[in-house]
Amino acid sequence: MPKPALRRVMAATAAAAGVLTLGVTDASAHATTTLDYVALGDSYSAGSGVLPVDPTNLLCLRSTANYPHVIADATGARLKDVTCGAAQTSHFTEAQYPGVAPQVNALGAGTDLVTLTIGGNDNSTFINAITACGSAGVLSGGKGSPCKDKNGTSFDDQIENNTYPALKAALREVMAAAPNARVAALGYPWITPAAADPSCFLKLPIAAGDVPYLRGIQAHLNDVVERAAEETGAVFVDFAAVSEGHDACQAPGTRWIEPLLFGHSLVPVHPNALGERRMAEHTMDALGLG
């Protein structure tokens, strides 16, 4: 073979080898890319009441066994967890406590995934509804619907008029701070069963007629989370079906939510360790993560 032709063959072979090596390197790099994951949200995200507690910020009562940690462990994601118990939508852009930065500060252009559970503390919806219905239930001996009779649509009005627009604004802030991220807004797993369970009254002292009333308030909250997610381009992770039968009235090992009384958690009416694991698993299924 003439030398010029030989040189051309050698050059082409080297170039092909270089392309092959580059392709393998690129594929390898792609396969080992670590997901940059930021977890935002309230006590349902933080896993408040689930041990062990994250010692880096005791004010937020954040668990290292919360659903963001379960997701990160399962996917190998690089997790930045800024969830905080008692957080409201306003704390996405405002400091919740001295030394606790606004949650969106954790986001950036390099963020790949964001999860959040938020809205239940706006207007103190959860705590006020549970407290009002629990107190009314005790005074009525579990009869009638004293909480509904007294409060009517007040909780629903607050959710629709205040929480809903606040959720949309908060999600838009998240999208702006993490423009390249996939954002998942999680609903809240069921706290109460669909109908009253007389055997549950000592654990969740809500009058028989107020059990569906309280569940309807939670359903409305989840509905506005879903609408806000759809209108801002986030993914809504719906727990209505998968959490059915795992409410606070169920036995340990079945329930995802601890009851108001005689539960096994430091924080009542919140997910237990099983609930946090199941929230993580359903979220990964919804997002196609594995």
Q: Are residues 160 and 26 in the same domain?
A: no
Q: Judge whether residue 103 has pLDDT over 90.
A: yes
Determine the structural domain holding residue 17 and report its residue range.
1-33
Q: Are residues 139 and 21 in the same domain?
A: no
Helix (H, G, I), strand (E, B) or coil at 225: helix
Task: Kindly state the average pLDDT of the residues 233-261.
Answer: 98
Q: Are residues 100 and 20 in the same domain?
A: no
Q: Are residues 71 and 106 in the same domain?
A: yes
| pLDDT mean across residues, the chain | 91
Task: Report in angstroms the alpha-carbon separations of 213 from 146, 206, 217.
Answer: 10, 10, 6
- pLDDT tens for 153-183 read 999 999 999 999 999 999 999 999 999 999 9
Q: What is the pLDDT of residue 109?
A: 98
- pLDDT tens for 21-45 read 333 334 333 345 899 999 999 999 9
Q: Are residues 133 and 273 in the same domain?
A: yes
Q: Are residues 130 and 2 in the same domain?
A: no
Pull the structure tokens for residue 74: 């399962």
Short-list 224, 244, 221, 220, CA closest to 234: 224
Q: Are residues 136 and 89 in the same domain?
A: yes
Q: Single out the catalytic residue among 43, 45, 243, 265.
A: 43
- pLDDT tens for 54-96 read 999 999 999 999 999 999 999 999 999 999 999 999 999 999 9
Q: Judge whether residue 5 has pLDDT over 70.
A: no
Strands 78-81 and 113-117: unpaired
Helices (H) and strands (E) in the chain, counts: 9, 5
How far is Cα 239 from Cα 271, in angstroms, rounded to an integer?
13
Percent of the chain with pLDDT over 70: 89
- Name the residue with tokens 């509904």: 148
Rounded to an integer, what is the distance from CA 53 to the centroid of its chain? 18
CA atoms within 13 Å, Cβ hemisphere of 43: 23
Q: Are residues 209 and 114 in the same domain?
A: yes
Pull the structure tokens for residue 241: 């079906």
**Number of domains into which the chain is organized:** 2
Q: What is the pLDDT of residue 33?
A: 83
Q: Are residues 153 and 136 in the same domain?
A: yes
Q: Judge whether residue 149 has pLDDT over 80.
A: yes
**Which CATH number goes with the domain that contains 78?**
3.40.50.1110
Q: Are residues 23 and 153 in the same domain?
A: no
264 a catalytic residue: no
How far is Cα 169 from Cα 164, in angstroms, rounded to an integer?
9
Window from 6-10, 124-128, 197-201 with minimum mean pLDDT: 6-10
Q: Single out the catalytic residue among 91, 220, 246, 270.
A: 270
28 a catalytic residue: no
Q: Are residues 134 and 42 in the same domain?
A: yes
Q: Are residues 282 and 169 in the same domain?
A: yes
Task: Kindly state the average pLDDT of the residues 2-30.
Answer: 39
- pLDDT tens for 195-244 read 999 999 999 999 999 999 999 999 999 999 999 999 999 999 999 999 99
